[in-house]
Structures are given as structure tokens and as C-alpha cells.
Chain A
Amino acid sequence: MRKSVFPVLTVVAVLFVLWYVMAVVLNAPWAEDKAKRAGLELSFSELVADTWSQDKPKLPVPHQVAEEIWKTTALKKVSSKRSLVYHSGITLSSTLLGFALGTLLGIGLAVGIVYNRVMDMSVMPWVIASQTIPILAIAPMIIVVLNAIGISGLLPKAIISMYLSFFPVVVGMVKGLRSPGMMQLDQMKTWNASRGQEFWKLRLPSSMPYLFTSLKIAMAASLVGAIVGELPTGAIAGLGARLLAGSYYGQTIQIWSALIMAAALAAGLVALIGVIQRVSLKRMGMA
């Protein structure tokens, strides 16, 4: 682990340098255009300074984005509509609700598939096929239709998140619940274990490593679902709405700050699951 810190930092540093260079390249035409209209000739250092401080640059530089994030998180009241914390909170709540629903649905389906042959044969192919359908494409429809029958707010977005997050859980849990070998299952039989005992004491515990791996994927997918679910609601609130509003008004810095915030949210949530995984697997004696 320690061995890779230096290479990772190098790569990240290179990416930042590239980012600044790209900002100069992409923003230069606008800066030169402005200078020409003002009848000025820009020196190279002036050009660079200008490209790194435009109001609506094609590519804002990291420190502009960081400044915007600082302004919209720390310097604004949390309840304010301009606060990024407020928007992140809305996205986070529907992400978590969708994640919880998706995990429950996924585990339920997996148990059914493992214990019921008919379900295994009929549902499993459709679970797989369901993911080749670009569900995100019908997100607007789900939102509008649920809105029409009086369900609005958190739940429609959460349903999209649920649809995206249940699949990794089903696949992982089916694998996990089937991971105990013949020997172990026979051992349970020699102890005269009932089906319930076999499930609670053997199958469920041995599926835990699989479950946590799937939960990480499910959480990332759930966040994507929540963000896309916010696009068609008319850009009211949430990180997705910030993205859409930013793209309508050409506020690139706002788009990038929402994007970085979403990335931080995803990284934080996945890391949180990682911590829970390590603690619980250790307590179960599996890691």
C-alpha cells in the first residue's frame, strides 16, 4: 500500500498540471478575442493569467472550482438555495433511500432465486436482461408519471436509484449464498439443521464478503441514478439540478463544483461501506 502512494501522487500531480495547461489552450481564443476588441496585445503571462481567471471559461482551473466550492459550502447558510451543502443533502437523501430499497429488493430476490428453482429459472435471465436496458433513459418518464399520480419528491428519484442498485446486489448475493461448498452443507445436514438454521448460520454469514463488494458498486450506481433523476424535475434542487442549471446558463464553474461535490460524495459513501466492511468482517473472523 505504502509503495503506491508516491506513484499515485505523481499521477494526480500530472493530471493537475495537464488540467492547467488544457485550461490555457481551451480558454485562450476567448481571451485573445477580448484583447483584440480592446485593441491590446497580450503577452504570454497576461494570456495565462486571463485564461485562469475568466468568469465563464470553457474549462475552469482547479483553484477557481475550489474557490466556488468554498464560497457555496462554507460561506453560505446550509438552508440557502445557493448552498451546495443543501443540494448535496437532497441528492444524498434520495441516494440513500434508493440504495436501501435496492439492497432490500436485491437480497430478497437473491434469497428467492437461491431457494426457489422456478424463480431461479424465470427471474434470473430477466434480472440480467433488465440491465441491458438503459434505464436512465426512462428516468424522465418515471418522474413525470409518478408525479401525475401524486407521488413526488424523494420517492421517484429513489426508485431510479433502486433500479440501478438492486442488480449488483442480486448477482453478488446469489453468488455469495451459493458459496458454501457441498462439504459445509452436508455438515449442516449431519447436525440436523433446519432450512432456517442453514440460512442464518451458514449461507448468510458466508455471503457477507460478496455482499459488501456488491454494496460498493450499488452505492455508486445509486448516486448516478439520483443525479440523473434530478435532471427532468425542472432543475429545482439537487446536484443534478445544479448541473442542468449550470449548462443552461453557461456557468461552467458551477457545473464543475457540482461535479466535484458529486465525486466527493461518491468517494465518501464508498469509503464508508469499506470501513463497515472491514470492521464487520473482522468481527466475524473473516478478514
Chain B
Amino acid sequence: MRWFETPDYQFVETRKYGYMISGTLLAISIAALLFKGLSYGIDFKGGKELVVEFDTAVSVTDVRDILTPALGSQPEVKQFGLSRDLLVRTDSPLDATTLQNTVVSSLTAAFPGNGVVIIKTDDISPRFADDLKWGALQAVIFSIIVIFLYILVRFRNWRYSLGTVAAIAHDVVIILGVFVIFNGILPFSLDIDQTTIAAFLTIVGYSLNDTVVVFDRLREDSQIHKSDPLDKMVNRAMNATLSRTVVTSLTTLFVVVVLFIFGGEVLKGLSFALIVGIVLGTYSTLYVACPIVVDLKKKAT
């Protein structure tokens, strides 16, 4: 089987369409971030989360109504994977022990004959959550700096660094936008927590991986065809590596889709981010990183 054996797509030529698509996606994402805002998970916000498992499924609204007076405030209740597992998130002032006892005793009283067990508890103090958020922020900033420097050292050209970092920023902003827009619409949580940050950094690594392969080819090519204009060289490098780009994206996409389907509720957010990220990362290599290198060079001459 061979795909894209001798492709000759005009990526550089058609880059203004890429800029338009990216620009629109970025504008929508930034607007969503500004107007709707990020929704943090308890890792970054603090609070308490319980997963209660019933013997037979009960309604989410019933559980919310029963727990509201007992906890002193309305908890957030949603499905957690199985229909008989419910996630309860609360900012109730009760301490963990009292909270657990209260939830179990009031639910047992309300659903006689239906067993209730707590199978997962997370209790994060706001101060600790603040530290986690700070750590995540540092990780993101630090990784972008390291990547910029690595590309700079390896390719000795700041335009390549800038192109890469622009592609990464593009991917991360759009994924954040996707998380903001689809949170609450999709049947699983898209709150930003530690796991999503891990997914974002993996996407950064992945998107970079793609970009670097094209740049590497470009570097090799530019030694052979010294007289060719840059846009021609860039376009040739993208076409030469296209088959590889598509195949690797596909195999990686296979496994993350599998992870999304079979990986259980805990990994839903992570694998969803990876799916979106791989698609975006592949696109941004072709239509963000490389065109920027071309345009930066054009401006300079």
C-alpha cells in the first residue's frame, strides 16, 4: 500500500487559506476563552469530589436535590462512566469524614434498598490547588522556552524557532478553545486539570515532532538545491515527508481513539485532548509552522 507516493500539493501557494482557517479558529477560541472562560477541575480550583456507586442507577437530579440541604449548598452531580456511578462535586464546608458520612447516610435514607458506596474521593485545599496551578503554568512556559532554544541550537535559525513556537501556541490556544466551547456539551468533563495539562504538553511534543521532521528535510534539501527559492524548497520538503506525516498521525490516532473508547472515565479528558491535538498538530505543521518560515524570510529580503 502506498499513499502520497509522489505528491505535489501546493501547500505554500495555498497558505493564505490556511491562515484564514487558523485565524478564524483562533478568533473563535480566544473569544470563547475571554467570554466563557476556562473551567478548572478541582486540581486547580480546590474542593471536594466524590464518586458514589449505586447498586442500580438513580437519577442525577434526584441525587442533587437530596444532597443540597444535607451539604448546605447545591453540589454539581454528573454521570461518571457507568450509569450507576455518579460524580458529586461540592464546595461544602464539611470536612472529608463528615462529608462522606453525610452523603452515604442521606442517600441511603432516600433510596432504601439501593446500596451506596463511595469509590473515589478527592479533597484539595484551595491553597494546594493554587500550587498545582502554578506548577502547571511553570511547566508550560518552561517547555516552550526549552523547545524554542532546542530548535534554535539545532537549526541555527530563529525563524524556524518562531515558526515552531507559533504552531505550538496555535495548537494549544485552539485546544483550549475546544475545551471551553464543548465543556458541558459533551458527555464527559472537559475541565482543565493536571491530566489535561499533561495532555497539552504531550501535544506540544507531538506537534513539534511533526514540524521538526519537515524542517529536517528542508535543511537537508537546502544543501542540495542551493539556488532554489525558499518557498519551493519548503513545499518540496512538506511533500516529501507527507506520507510519513500521515502514517504516523494515523497510527497515533488509532491508539488514542482506542484509549478514548476503552480507557475508562478517568482518561476521557486526556484522550480527547490527544485526539484533537494530533489532528491539529498535523495541520499546523503544514499550514502554520512552514508558511511562517516562508513569510518571515520574505519579509527579511
Answer yes or no: do A and B interact: no
